[in-house]
Amino acid sequence: MGFLSDLVSWFGEPGRWAGDDGILPRALEHLWLAALPMLIAVTVALPIAVWLGHRRIGGLAANAAANIGRAIPSFGLIILAAIFFARAGVSLRFWPAAVALLALAIPPIYTNAYTAIVTVPRETVEAAKGMGFTDNEVLWGVEVPIGAPLIFAGIRISFIQVLATVPLAAVLSSGGGLGQYVVRGFAQGPGGRVEVFAGALLIAVLTLGADWLLSRGERWVLPEGRRPRSSEEIRAAASIS
Amino acid sequence: MILAQAASSLFDWDWVGRNIDSIWRRTVEHLALTGVALVAGIVIASALAAVAIRKPRTYPTITAATGLLYTIPALAVFALVAPLVGIGTVTQRFITAEIALISYTLLILIRNIVTGVNGVPAGVREAAAGMGYSEGERIRQIELPLALPAVMAGIRIATVTVIGLVTVTSLLGLGGLGFFILDGLRRSIIFPTEIIVGVVLSVALAAALDIGLLGIGRVLTPWAREGDR
């Protein structure tokens, strides 16, 4: 039959949604595989970046982190991680991807948070000090709120990148969240094109949905008057800086 | 002797020596896939940026659309395009890969071109008009050169991003350095040397092109050297 009707019947197959190989468990695996490295990256990289930014040291490291982060192919990183886990006899389904994703997650978070704090105008900081703000008050009352949009942009960019890289982990094992459909479909050649397309559709929906949710989340987190005018602005800030 | 053996278990230099031709060929393939995507990306981005500069009202739509392309994961773009273009022949696979790669460069390039051109001070623009420059001359001789640092910054980011993404095109059977990564993984016993060669060369290529483009940018904009980071 036609491609479209094949696609529709793919989504309607028994066990397609809730079964072991179903869309829901795979989507959950996809999100969990992205969320865990993100949580660790934020907990570790954010305080360091903010503190170094506050002290205004380590600018070169922030720059280098951004460049190296972009240059390392995420695909290769996942597979390199797999080599080491395979030697250690650990299952390849979760940990190689999680570790590689952690390494990918850190640079945007670190660079953006550092830049956010460092680019707070000097005069503003001096003015706060002149008004009797303590060092801590300058950090939490001036630098962090002013830098918040860029800090959040880093987290958002990082999460989207991590979410986009999860599917590549499907090359290693039966994991990789929704990426499994795509990789498996490609392996089947022309016969797998429905599965490839369906998997890609699901990945796109999940990623765009997560991006949208984060853009909503920004409104809750960011102080009033520091909210970006559009989601593109945030994306651009991170893609250019 | 013992040292050499210990090292060979981690990284097999002999393999590199035996496969130097194939390493060279994959590197050239990698560069070709990257180059085509960049040139096409620059052409399309320039056209869209020109529209956005002349009609600022179109700019949010253009960034929203290219932002959408930028957000969709690479593997998903390959996969969405593949059934439509087909992956039966090498040409079809090449087009599939290029569409995905180009779609990644657009947001970065357009942003930087528009930011660069709009960043030209109004006074400079008026001075050029006052000196009798036509609009075309002004754009070519004044605005583009002044926007060049921002444009080059965009090209550098796009280049490094695309080089990383090209490793994924090996899943389509298109070669490039990703071939080594995939081949090393798919042997009956994982072969780290091949994977490391693929990753390291890909990073090296990104670094080399980044530095090369930085150099070209400096040569093209001698006036910007002062104060340039």
> What ipTM does the predicted assembly reach?
0.80
Considering the domain boundaries, does residue B226 fall inside one? no
pLDDT at A187 over 50: yes
Compute the mean pLDDT over every residue in chain A, rounded to the nearest whole number: 87
Given pLDDT bands bounded at 50, 70 and 90, which one contains residue A228? low
| CB-CB neighbors (< 8 A) of A83 in chain B | 190, 192, 195
CB atoms within 10 A of CB B107: 27
pLDDT for A117 beyond 60: yes
Which segments of A88-192 does DSSP mark as H helices, in order? 95-118, 122-130, 135-138, 144-165, 179-187
Contacts of A204 in chain B (CB under 8 A): 72-73, 76, 80
Q: Looking at residue A1, what is its pLDDT? A: 61
pLDDT: which is higher, B121 or A237: B121
The rounded distance, in Å, linking the Cα atoms of B135 and B60 is 25
CA-closest candidate to residue B198, choices B37, B7, B73, B11:
B11
B48 to chain A, any CB pair closer than 8 A? The answer is no
B223, part of any domain: no
All domains of chain A, ordered by start, with CATH? 2-7+22-239 (1.10.3720.10)
Inter-chain CB proximity A75 and B168 less than 8 Å: yes
Q: Produce one character per residue of A48-74: b if its CB has 16 or more CB atoms within 10 Å, e if not.
A: bbbebbbeeebeeebeebbbebbbbbb
Percentage above 90 pLDDT, chain B: 55
Residue B201 touches partner A, C-beta closer than 8 Å? no
Using the predicted structure, report yes or no on whether residue B3 has a pLDDT greater than 50.
no
Query: For chain B, how many structural domains are there in total?
Result: 1
Whether B91 is covered by a domain: the verdict is yes
- B-chain residues within 8 Å CB-CB of A203? 72-73, 75-76, 79
Structure tokens belonging to residue A23: 């869309």
- Greatest Cα pair distance, chain B, in angstroms, is 77
Domain assignment present for residue B227? The answer is: no
Asked if the structure places residue B119 within a domain, the reply is yes
Give the domain range for residue B50: 18-218
In single-letter form, the type of residue at position A56 comes to R
Q: Is A47 helix (H, G, I), strand (E, B) or coil?
A: helix
pLDDT of A233 over the 80 cut: no
Higher pLDDT, A112 or B229: A112
Structural domain includes residue B13 = no
Asked if residue B27 has pLDDT above 90, the reply is yes
pLDDT at B199: 93
- pLDDT value at position A237? 52
Interface of B with A in 134-153 (CB under 8 A): 153
The per-residue pLDDT for range B11-23, each reduced to its tens digit, is: 889 999 999 999 9
Distance of alpha carbon A189 from alpha carbon B82, whole angstroms = 11
Q: Is residue B3 part of a domain?
A: no
Q: Is the Cβ pair B79, A80 closer than 8 Å?
A: no
Q: Please report whether residue B150 resides in a domain.
A: yes
Lowest mean pLDDT among A63-67, A106-110, B94-98, B139-143: A63-67
What proportion of chain A, given as a percentage, has pLDDT over 70?
A: 92
Residues of chain B with C-beta less than 8 angstroms from the C-beta of A207: 71-73, 76
Of residues A240 and B125, more confidently modeled: B125
CATH number at residue B33: 1.10.3720.10
